[in-house]
Amino acid sequence: MYNGKDQKTITLSTIRELKSRGEKIACLTAYDSTFAYQLDQAGIEIILVGDSLGMVVQGHKTTIPVKVEDMVYHSRIVSSSINHAFLISDMPFMSFYNPDIALENAKKLMQDGGAHMIKLEGNKSQINIIEKLALSDIPVCAHIGLRPQSVNKMGGYKVQGKENKEAENLINEAKRIEESGADILLLECVSSATAKKVCESVNIPIIGIGAGPDVDAQILVLYDILGITPGKLPKFSKNYMNGQNTIQQAIVDYIEEVKTQKYPSEQHSFK
């Protein structure tokens, strides 16, 4: 069984190292200090304070109402109890609409929230923003594929990269994003074949959620793996509390399944 007890502090260099030796990287979201502590103790490598907190903590229907202040608050309470994991915090809707605003808000997430890296949902029109942040030595994770902040523009939560043209666009986007200085790429709800091609087209580590088995890292929403999110789980998610007595064990099982590549199986991936 995977044992996170000997785990060292995870940095961007550790993440690159894990990728270069082909070891899968286990990531989960967290929004508070107690769960963050549990994840850190279990040996999770990356914790994301996602703006999914708008839905799973605040009860909104989408992530759009989440404010920078919410992200700073949740990042701060998560960062207070982690000793090993690398902490990424989301830039919420409209918090990066120009490079100066993006810099100001990224500064808040890092200085007041304790984030090690910021994540932004972007496409090629955000290249100048990624460049500005990268030039200021702010580590950036760019989130492409399904972008929940753009759900109204995208016309719903749909799998991306199924058609050839869409796949080509995603690959080009990923290349431009890497060139602009992003350190990590996150792919959400992308067909497995396209996600694999994106991985082969760039060198930076790729985190996937609903992006199949070939990406470097897997992330899920913590409350989904604990089976406490109301309603039906997304196809790519898995309830690790099934047949389990403790939350700690469910988290360890998730990490082990990512490491041994048992998760995600075909059942959790999109064609």
Catalytic residue IDs:
188
Does residue 173 interact with ligand KIV by CB under 6 A?
Answer: no
Q: Which residues pair with 209 in a beta bridge?
A: 188
Q: Shortest Cβ contact with ligand KIV: which residue?
A: 50
Binding mask 217-236 for ligand KIV (x = CB under 6 A): --x-x---------------
Q: Rounded to 5 degrees, what are φ and ψ at 65?
A: -70, -5
Query: Which of 40, 45, 51, 183 contacts ligand KIV by CB under 6 A?
Result: 51
Query: Which of 4, 43, 50, 213 contacts ligand KIV by CB under 6 A?
Result: 50
Residue number, 133 or 225, with CB nearest to ligand KIV: 225
On the 0-12 / 13-18 / 19+ scale of CB atoms within 10 A, 231 is exposed
**Tokens 């060198």 label which residue?**
203
Distance CA 206, CA 217 (A): 6
Shortest Cβ 189–ligand KIV spacing (Å)? 9
Count Cβ neighbours within 10 Å for each residue of 98-135 and write b for 16 or more, e otherwise: ebeebbebbebbbebbbbbbbbbbbbeebbebbbbbee
Binding mask 52-71 for ligand KIV (x = CB under 6 A): x-------------------
Return the beta strands (E) in 68-195 as ranges: 86-90, 117-121, 140-145, 184-188
Contact 2, 25 (CB under 8 A): no
Does residue 145 interact with ligand KIV by CB under 6 A?
Answer: no
Does residue 90 interact with ligand KIV by CB under 6 A?
Answer: yes
Here the tokens at position 239 are 């309830």
Does residue 113 interact with ligand KIV by CB under 6 A?
Answer: no
Residue number, 20 or 157, with CB nearest to ligand KIV: 157
Does residue 181 interact with ligand KIV by CB under 6 A?
Answer: no
Query: Which of 82, 115, 127, 209 contacts ligand KIV by CB under 6 A?
Result: 209
Shortest Cβ 3–ligand KIV spacing (Å)? 26
Contact 237, 207 (CB under 8 A): no
Residues that bind ligand KIV (CB under 6 A): 29, 48, 50-52, 90, 186, 188, 209, 219, 221
